[in-house]
Amino acid sequence: MYQRPEVCVTTVTLPAGPSAPRFAQGIMTLAAPLWVMRRMRRRYGSAFTLNVPVFGRAVVISDPAEVKQLFTTSPEIADNLDINLGRILGPHSFFAISGDTHKQQRKLLVPPFHGRRLRAYSGIVEEEATREMATWPQGREFAALPSMMRITLNVILRAVFGADGSELAELRVLLPRMVTLGSRLATTPVPRIDLGRWSPWGRAFAYRREYDAIVDRLIAAARQDPDLDARNDVLALMLQSRYDDGSAMSRDEIADQLLTLLAAGHETTATTLAWAVERLRRHPEILRRLTGEVDEGGARLREATILEIQRTRPVIDGTARQVRAANMNLGRWTLPKGQIVMVSIYLMHNDETLFPGARRFDPDRFLDSKPDTYEWIPFGGGVRRCIGAAFANMEMNVVLRTLLRDFILEPTSERGERWHSRGIAYCPAKGGIAVVHRRPARQPTAGQGTDATQTKAGAAA
Ligand code: HEM
């Protein structure tokens, strides 16, 4: 007898959202993204469906249990968003790979960003911070952001690319141009016809050729370096690392991943540091305690302050995944294949039930307890959590320590700077205006000037 095959029909259930035309929702979200998020949250609660520019219809979530479920689900069910960053950063970039390939790359590239490696990099950070801060004017206003950008760029070029001499000089000029153009082009289609060297895509390809030539020189020099084993830079570690089957990373994988580390790590860290200047000038009591702590060789309050800066001013306001399975049950919802889910870092960090007095800047909230992994999420979470989180926290810690040790940062009663989107990251609208005075030279106290002051909690964050 003929039997009907089992047909499994799953009903899709999405959170409610505004009924305004898609176009209007997109324009509003483009013009005032944070305001729209706050408004949607007030109206619909912690989950809503919204049309966002570029991605289209997205489910936005900010409930810790749902966020935890999304972050910890297997990549076969939900993985990174395929927005084709491969065109910009290369097909081997973390942002372009998924599944097993992604897992294997993480296995090779997580170790260079942890443990004793970080201690080795902290010397570079202190050197770069001291050098840059020596150029700061005293007693008059300047924007901290350009300075922070130079520090974090040089740190990545030296600690990650292992660049030195002419390569360092060339990359210092080329890479900021390349990343700025790349972030603008990330969402524009590649034209079918070649519009030549002076078109934006033509320029992007020319930059990439220049970049490839420099990376080839760096790789060739590293391969001939008799002391390669003793080097700590990430490029040297990449060249020596092996997959489970004993094979090495290919030249193209190395080139794409180096570029990815720079694109992901340079501006994010610099903008957070600019917010540090902006926040601390408006909280003189915290500033006073931080300076006292630096003088005594401590680090606990500084680490708590960095956590609180990232909570109140997360430079990346959200991250996203895309459903890869036929459907996914996420908390209260059943999502169809292809559905984009955005985690709003911004909304979660402003949730009063998670952080009482959420709008207050209060580093003391993290003095004795580490934040929860799925509530404090400036670095995202799960298998896609930022690979450079510990590196970034070490870097911010050392830059801030150098600033507080060598300068008095003048407090201000001016209103806080507004959030300004730079495309990749949010920065203070005026660049984090600073006014500094050099402190008289002091004898370092025991433990000061080394990273021994970084506590386990700070390093783990
Ligand atoms: C304050 C500084 C930083 C912030 C706020 C930040 C934030 C983030 C966020 C939100 C993600 C997405 C995570 C997810 O989707 O769950 C991410 C991914 C990533 N970040 Fe960072 N990041 C910072 C610094 C760095 C640094 C210094 C590096 C490297 C030198 C780096 C390298 C990466 C890479 C490679 C990924 C992709 C990981 C993957 O897909 O497996 N980031 N970061």
Of 46, 72, 68, the closest CA to residue 59 belongs to 46
Q: Which residue's CA is minimally distant from atom 9 of ligand 1?
A: 379
| pLDDT score of 369 more than 70 | yes
What's phi and psi for 349, nearest 5 deg? Answer: -70, -15
pLDDT bin (cut points 50, 70, 90) of residue 445 is low
Segment 301-327 mean pLDDT = 96
Segment 147-151 mean pLDDT = 97
CA 383 from centre of chain: 15
pLDDT at 182: 82
One-letter amino acid at 410 equals E
pLDDT at 119: 86
pLDDT at 31: 87
CA of 415 to the centre of ligand 1 (A): 30
CA of 264 to the centre of ligand 1 (A): 6
pLDDT at 196: 72
Between 459 and 170, the more confident residue is: 170
pLDDT at 192: 65
Ligand 1 atom with the smallest distance to the CA of 260 is 35
Segment 173-177 mean pLDDT = 91
pLDDT at 187: 64
Ligand 1 atom with the smallest distance to the CA of 94 is 40
Segment 189-202 mean pLDDT = 73
Q: Which residue's CA is minimally distant from atom 26 of ligand 1?
A: 265
pLDDT at 388: 96
pLDDT bin (cut points 50, 70, 90) of residue 440 is confident
Segment 362-373 mean pLDDT = 95
CA of 236 to the centre of ligand 1 (A): 21
CB 94 within 8 A of CB 82: no
Percent of the chain scoring above 90 in pLDDT: 74
pLDDT at 23: 86
Of 13, 16, 14, 12, the closest CA to residue 44 belongs to 16
Best of 386, 395, 396 to mutate for ligand 1, by most ligand atoms within 8 A of CB?
A: 386
pLDDT bin (cut points 50, 70, 90) of residue 226 is very high
Give me the sign of the Cα torsion angle 83, 85, 325, 340. negative
| pLDDT score of 305 more than 60 | yes
| pLDDT score of 378 more than 80 | yes
CA of 296 to the centre of ligand 1 (A): 32
pLDDT at 449: 46
Average confidence score pLDDT of the chain: 90
CA of 388 to the centre of ligand 1 (A): 6
pLDDT in tens, 409-431: 999 999 999 999 887 789 999 99
Lowest mean pLDDT among 85-94, 219-228, 279-288: 85-94
Alpha-carbon gap, residue 397 to 399, rounded angstroms: 6
| pLDDT score of 270 more than 90 | yes
pLDDT in tens, 22-73: 888 888 888 899 999 999 999 999 999 999 887 889 999 999 999 999 999 9
Best of 313, 348, 379, 426 to mutate for ligand 1, by most ligand atoms within 8 A of CB?
A: 379
Q: Which residue's CA is minimally distant from atom 16 of ligand 1?
A: 380
pLDDT in tens, 162-172: 888 898 899 99
CA of 379 to the centre of ligand 1 (A): 6
Other CB atoms closer than 10 Å to residue 403's CB: what's the count? 25
CA of 263 to the centre of ligand 1 (A): 9
| pLDDT score of 188 more than 70 | no
| pLDDT score of 451 more than 80 | no
Alpha-carbon gap, residue 188 to 67, rounded angstroms: 30
CA of 384 to the centre of ligand 1 (A): 8
pLDDT at 457: 44
For ligand 1, residues with CB inside 6 Å are 94, 106, 156, 160, 260-261, 264-265, 268-269, 272, 315-316, 319, 378-381, 384-388, 391-392
pTM of the shown model: 0.92
pLDDT in tens, 75-104: 999 999 866 677 789 999 999 999 999 999
